[in-house]
C-alpha cells in the first residue's frame, strides 16, 4: 500500500466517489477547503536521518530549511559548495563540522561514507557524477530534477540504483502537492469516469522567464538542459502520472521567438544600467525587477544588513548576467513550446509552456467520459455529467503545521518528509517519485525535444 491508498476518508461524495481528505472548512454548499492528512505509514523516527548537501544554492536551502524546521527528522551533517558565502551560511545554519565542509562534490566521496543520504542540488550537468558515486558508496539519494540532461545517463542511474538496492527520490515535487495528490486520487477512483484526454498549461510568467531562461542559470540549453526538461519535466510527469498509461508517441513545436537581438528596441544598451533609453518602459528591465521591486533577489547572496542591499544589487546588475539586456544574451531556450502526446488506449494530452503571461500557476483540464475537472492549483472544480453537480476543492498546504515555507503547492517539504521516512524505514514505496516512477516522463522530454528539432513525430520506447 502507498500513501495514496491510505489517505483517510470522510463523507463527501463527488460523482459517487468519496473524497479521502481532511476537510478544514466548508466554504459554501459545494466548496471545501481541504488538506492531506498525515501519512499513516510514517513512523516515529528514533534518530534523525543524516544527509550531506551537494550545492547549497536555492534548492539546497529549501531542503536545508526542512532540516532546520524538523531537526528530529533530518540532520544535515555535511556540505559541498564552491561559493564561500553559501558554504559558510549553510555550515553555520546546520552547525556543520569543519571537516565535513567541502568546496566541490568530488571531495565528499574521498571520505568513507559518513551519512545516510546525499542531497543533490547541484546544477543540472552536475547530477550524474555525484549520483553515480553516491550509489556506488551505498548512499540513498534525493536527486533534483532533471535526473540528467542525457537519456543514457538517466538510464544508467536507474540501473545502478537497482543493482545497489538504494533509494533515488527524484524531486518531482508536484507529485506531493495536495492539489495534484487530490486530482490523482479522484481520477484513480473514477470520479470523472474513463479519462479520454488532458490539457495542461504552464504559464511561466514573463519576468520569471527573463530571470531564469534568458538571463539566469538555464539560459543556454547546451550548457544546462533544454527547457522542456529543466522547466517542464514536472508537467510531463504530472500528465503521465494522471493518465497512468504508457506514453506511445509525442510531437512538439516551438522556438525562441522574442528574446533575441532582432527585437532589441532602439536606444537599448548591453546592460540596463548603461543608460538604456527605453529602460523605464521595458517590462524586462533589470533595474525595475531587481532594484525597484526587489524580486528574485536571492540569487545575489545579499548581506544580512539590509541597508547595504541597494548598493550590492546595483553592483550585481553592473557585473552579472542579471543586469544584461534580455535581447542581447547568449540564450537559446524556446519561449513558447507545445507538445501533444498519445498514451496507451489512445488517451491524448496537450501541453503548452508559455513565457508570455502575466501570471504563473499550472492549469489543468481533465476530460473524462462521466465528468471533467478544471483547476489552477488554487482550486479544482469537478463537474459530474450525470447529475450536473459541481464540487470545488481548495487545497490548503500552508495550513499544515510547519509547511509555511514550502514551495510548489506544499510539495517541496512533503517530498522531503516522505524521503526521510523512506530512508529511515528503507522503503522506497513511501515515495511517489522514485527513479523508476520518474524516468518515463524524462524520456518523453528527450523525445519531445528531438521532435521539435527534427519536425517529426517520435515513438517513445521505454
Ligand atoms: N524541483 C524543482 O522544482 C526545482 C526548482 C528549481 C531548480 N531545480 C533544480 O535544482 C538544481 C539546483 O538548482 P538551484 O536553483 O538550487 O540552483 P543554484 O544555482 O541556486 O544552486 C546550485 C548550487 O550548486 C553549486 N555548485 C556548483 N558546482 C558545484 C560543485 N562542483 N560541487 C558542489 N556544488 C556546486 C553552486 O555554486 C550553487 O550554489 C538544478 O538542477 C535545478 O534544475 C529544481
Please say if the pLDDT value at position 16 is more than 60: no
Task: Report the candidate in 125, 155, 100 with the shortest Cα–Cα distance to residue 217.
Answer: 125
Longest Cα–Cα distance of the chain, Å, equals 65
89 lines ligand 1 (CB under 6 A): no
Using a 10 angstrom Cβ sphere, with 0-12 exposed, 13-18 middle and 19 or more buried, the burial of residue 138 is exposed
Mean pLDDT throughout 120-128?
A: 97
Torsion sign, CA atoms 72, 73, 77, 78 = negative
Mean pLDDT of the chain: 93
- Report the nearest-CA residue for atom 38 of ligand 1: 57
Per residue in 346-382, pLDDT (tens digit) is 999 999 999 999 999 999 999 999 999 999 998 999 9
CA of 226 to the centre of ligand 1 (A): 16
Atom of ligand 1 nearest to the CA of 172: 1
Per residue in 33-46, pLDDT (tens digit) is 888 777 888 999 99
CA of 455 to the centre of ligand 1 (A): 32
- CA gap 101, 278 in Å, rounded: 46
Give the model's confidence band at 28: pLDDT under 50 very low, under 70 low, under 90 confident, else very high.
Answer: confident
Q: What is the pTM of this model?
A: 0.94
Distances (CA, A) of 80 to 54, 89, 91, 109, 123: 5, 12, 10, 11, 13
CA of 427 to the centre of ligand 1 (A): 27
82 lines ligand 1 (CB under 6 A): yes
Please say if the pLDDT value at position 331 is more than 80: yes
Task: Report the candidate in 87, 89, 119, 85 with the shortest Cα–Cα distance to residue 101.
Answer: 87
- Report the nearest-CA residue for atom 21 of ligand 1: 57
What is the predicted pLDDT for the residue at 15?
57
242 lines ligand 1 (CB under 6 A): no
What is the predicted pLDDT for the residue at 408?
84
Q: What percent of the chain has pLDDT over 90?
A: 85
64 lines ligand 1 (CB under 6 A): no
Mean pLDDT throughout 106-131?
A: 98
Q: Each residue of 292-307: b (16+ CB within 10 Å) or e?
A: eeeebbebbebeeeee
Amino acid at each position: 500500500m502507498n500513501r495514496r491508498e491510505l489517505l483517510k476518508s470522510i463523507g463527501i461524495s463527488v460523482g459517487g466517489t468519496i473524497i479521502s481528505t481532511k476537510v478544514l472548512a466548508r466554504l459554501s454548499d459545494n466548496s471545501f477547503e481541504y488538506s492531506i492528512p498525515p501519512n499513516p505509514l510514517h513512523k516515529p523516527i528514533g534518530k534523525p536521518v543524516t544527509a550531506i548537501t551537494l550545492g547549497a544554492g536555492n534548492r539546497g536551502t529549501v531542503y536545508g530549511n526542512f532540516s532546520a524546521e524538523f531537526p528530529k527528522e533530518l540532520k544535515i551533517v555535511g556540505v559541498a559548495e564552491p561559493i564561500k558565502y553559501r558554504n559558510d551560511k549553510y555550515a553555520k545554519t546546520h552547525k556543520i563540522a569543519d571537516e565535513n565542509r567541502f568546496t566541490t562534490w568530488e571531495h565528499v566521496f574521498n571520505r568513507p561514507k559518513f551519512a545516510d543520504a546525499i542531497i543533490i542540488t547541484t546544477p543540472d550537468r552536475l547530477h550524474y557524477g555525484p549520483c553515480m558515486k553516491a550509489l556506488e558508496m551505498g548512499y540513498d539519494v534525493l536527486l533534483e530534477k532533471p535526473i540528467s540532461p542525457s537519456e543514457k545517463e538517466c538510464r544508467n542511474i536507474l540501473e545502478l540504483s537497482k543493482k545497489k538496492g538504494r533509494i533515488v527520490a527524484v524531486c518531482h515535487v508536484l507529485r506531493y502537492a495536495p492539489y495534484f495528490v487530490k486530482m490523482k486520487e479522484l481520477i484513480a477512483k473514477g470520479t470523472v469516469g474513463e479519462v479520454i484526454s488532458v490539457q495542461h498549461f504552464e504559464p511561466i510568467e514573463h519576468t520569471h522567464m527573463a530571470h531564469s531562461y534568458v538571463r539566469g542559470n538555464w539560459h543556454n540549453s547546451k550548457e544546462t538542459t533544454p527547457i522542456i526538461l529543466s522547466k517542464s519535466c514536472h508537467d510531463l510527469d504530472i500528465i503521465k502520472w494522471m493518465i497512468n498509461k504508457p506514453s506511445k508517441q509525442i510531437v512538439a513545436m516551438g522556438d525562441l521567438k522574442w528574446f533575441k537581438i532582432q527585437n532589441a528596441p532602439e536606444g537599448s544598451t548591453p546592460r540596463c544600467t548603461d543608460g538604456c533609453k527605453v529602460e523605464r518602459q521595458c517590462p524586462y528591465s533589470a533595474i525595475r525587477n531587481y532594484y525597484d521591486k526587489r524580486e528574485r533577489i536571492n540569487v545575489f547572496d545579499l548581506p544580512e544588513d539590509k541597508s547595504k542591499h541597494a548598493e550590492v544589487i546595483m553592483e550585481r546588475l553592473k557585473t552579472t548576467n542579471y543586469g544584461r539586456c534580455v535581447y542581447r544574451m547568449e540564450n537559446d531556450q524556446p519561449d513558447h513550446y507545445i507538445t501533444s502526446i498519445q498514451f496507451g488506449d489512445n488517451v491524448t494530452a496537450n501541453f503548452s509552456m508559455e513565457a508570455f503571461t502575466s501570471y504563473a500557476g499550472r492549469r489543468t483540464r481533465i476530460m473524462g467520459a462521466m465528468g471533467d475537472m478544471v483547476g489552477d492549483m488554487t482550486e479544482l472544480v469537478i463537474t459530474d455529467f450525470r447529475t450536473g453537480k459541481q464540487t470545488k476543492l481548495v487545497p490548503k498546504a500552508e495550513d499544515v503545521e510547519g509547511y509555511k515555507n514550502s514551495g510548489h503547492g506544499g510539495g517541496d517539504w512533503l517530498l522531503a518528509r516522505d524521503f526521510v521516512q523512506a530512508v529511515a524505514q528503507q522503503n522506497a514505496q513511501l515515495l511517489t517519485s522514485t527513479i523508476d516512477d520518474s524516468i518515463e516522463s524524462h524520456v518523453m522530454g528527450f523525445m519531445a525535444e528531438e521532435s521539435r528539432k527534427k519536425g517529426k513525430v517520435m515513438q517513445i520506447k521505454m
